[in-house]
Every structure is written in structure tokens, then in C-alpha cells.
Amino acid sequence: MRIGHCRRMAFLAPNAVHTQFGKSTHGLAQKRFGGKNCVLMRQNPYGIFFRNLADFAKGSTVKMSMQVAEKHAVLGNPMEADFASQGLATALVGLGCFWGAERKFWEMKGVYSTAVGYSGGSNAQPSYKEVCSGMTGHAEVVRIIYDPQIVSFSEILDTFWESHDPTTLNRQGNDVGSQYRSVVYYSTPEEKAAIEDSRDRFSEVLQANGYGPVVTEVSEMPTFYFAEDYHQQ
């Protein structure tokens, strides 16, 4: 069962940022995601199939703070596995309330699995309540497992930038707090360079359309803690 308190968020992003930044330079594209007044409830068809996935997390940046369903409720693929051995890559982003944000990525062709959780804080295995207190320093994040032969990291970044307002500090719409901050993580120097390049290009388009400077945090990929199962998908 999915229950929670994040609010509806709307962001008007210039069409110029769509996909390759600049194919269209006129007009505004409205991006909406989030719950209806923060009250969402969805039955997880895989909710009865729980298992301890800690073995998969050994030696990785994934920690099983919560029990989660074995398979993705929408895509049907594993929520955790040795993805790298299958030629799959990982991206980790925060763009406000993670519910609607997660959907943006699982709908992309080439995305194998997604999960929501917490990263970038000071304590291990945080709960939703602890993160919402704003005292742990964690951000609500979406972990994206994708096939780089089908969808590129740059395309993941495009969706990230287009799906939220990166010019508001510690806030997305009516959701306020450091847990809702805009953040994107990298695991290689090449990913860091790609993030910074896309950020700079996106920032130019936004400022040309009257927005302020981009305040997105760009950091090395930290430990990812799964959120409680009722938050997933």
C-alpha cells in the first residue's frame, strides 16, 4: 500500500531543454508530477513477496534499510541484483518528492528498474519519518537501473532537468525541506563532466526564460538506502 504526504508539484520548463537542449527554443512545456494533495494509495501486487536482499548489497553502495518487494511493481524486473554483471548502469537523482519522480524514469525506454530511497545524509538506514524531520540530511532520491545500449546517461539527465525546478533551494512546489533538494550523483569522472555540461546548458535556457540560477547539488554517489516498500512504485 502506498501512502504518504508529498504534494502536487508543477514546473514550467522551457521547451528548449527537451531531449537535446535546443531543438525548440520557443514556448513553455508544463511538467507535472506528484500526488493529489499528498494522499496516494496504490496496492503493490508484489507486496506479499518480501525477501532479505542484504547479500546483494555487500560491498556496494546499496543498503537494505527496509524490506522491499522482490520485483518492480510496474516493470516486473528485480528490485535488486548484480546489475553491473548484466551490463546495466545506475543513476541516482533527487528532484523533490520521489513518488511522481520515479514514474518519470520507469516510463523511459531502456530503464530496467527503479526504486526510491534516501541518500546523502549523516546516519545509516534512515526511516521516512526521520528523513522528513530534516535532521538526517538525506534527500529523497530515485535510483535508476538502465541499459546504456538503449538509453544514455545524457537522456537520463534530460529527464531529470525537465521534470523539476532546479532553481529552488530545498524546495519543490509546496514541498519544503532539505529532503526535497535538487541533487544528482555521479560515480565516474565522465558522469560528473556530463552532469556539469548539461547543468550549464540547461541553466542558460532557464535564465533566458526568467528563472534564477540552478542550485542543484552535484556530488559523488553515496550510499543508497531503500525507502519503505509502501513508497515504491
Integer angstrom CA distances of residue 116 from 39, 112, 151, 229:
17, 14, 20, 9
Report which of residues 200 and 12 the model is more confident about.
200
Q: What is the pLDDT of residue 13?
A: 55
Confidence of residue 63 (pLDDT cuts 50, 70, 90): low
Confidence of residue 77 (pLDDT cuts 50, 70, 90): very high
- Report the distance separating Cα 107 and Cα 184, nearest Å: 19
What's the mean pLDDT in 135-146? Answer: 96
Catalytic residue among 6, 38, 97, 132: 97
Q: What is the pLDDT of residue 66?
A: 64
Cell 528563472: give the residue: 211
DSSP three-state, residue 6: coil
- Report the distance separating Cα 158 and Cα 21, nearest Å: 8
Q: What is the pLDDT of residue 79?
A: 86
What's the mean pLDDT in 181-187? Answer: 98
Strand partners, 63: 225
Q: Tell whether the model's pLDDT for residue 3 goes beyond 60.
A: no
- Report the distance separating Cα 228 and Cα 232, nearest Å: 7
- Report the distance separating Cα 230 and Cα 208, nearest Å: 40
Whether domain 9-231 has CATH 3.40.50.2300: the reply is no
Burial class of residue 208 (count of CB atoms within 10 Å of its CB; 0-12, 13-18, 19+): exposed
- Report the distance separating Cα 217 and Cα 160, nearest Å: 13
Average pLDDT, the chain: 79
- Report the distance separating Cα 56 and Cα 54, nearest Å: 5
Q: What is the pLDDT of residue 126?
A: 92
Q: How many CB atoms lie within 10 A of CB 191?
A: 20
Q: Tell whether the model's pLDDT for residue 12 goes beyond 80.
A: no
Q: Tell whether the model's pLDDT for residue 211 goes beyond 80.
A: yes
Q: How many CB atoms lie within 10 A of CB 24?
A: 12
Q: Tell whether the model's pLDDT for residue 27 goes beyond 80.
A: no
Q: What is the pLDDT of residue 5?
A: 53
Integer angstrom CA distances of residue 91 from 39, 55, 195:
28, 21, 11
Q: How many CB atoms lie within 10 A of CB 209?
A: 16
Q: What is the pLDDT of residue 141?
A: 96
Relative orientation angle of helices 153-162 and 189-208, to the nearest 10 degrees: 30
Is 97 one of the annotated active-site residues of the chain?
A: yes
pTM (two decimals)? 0.75
Report which of residues 47 and 190 the model is more confident about.
190
Integer angstrom CA distances of residue 55 from 49, 50, 163, 221, 232:
17, 14, 33, 20, 20
Cell 510496474: give the residue: 74
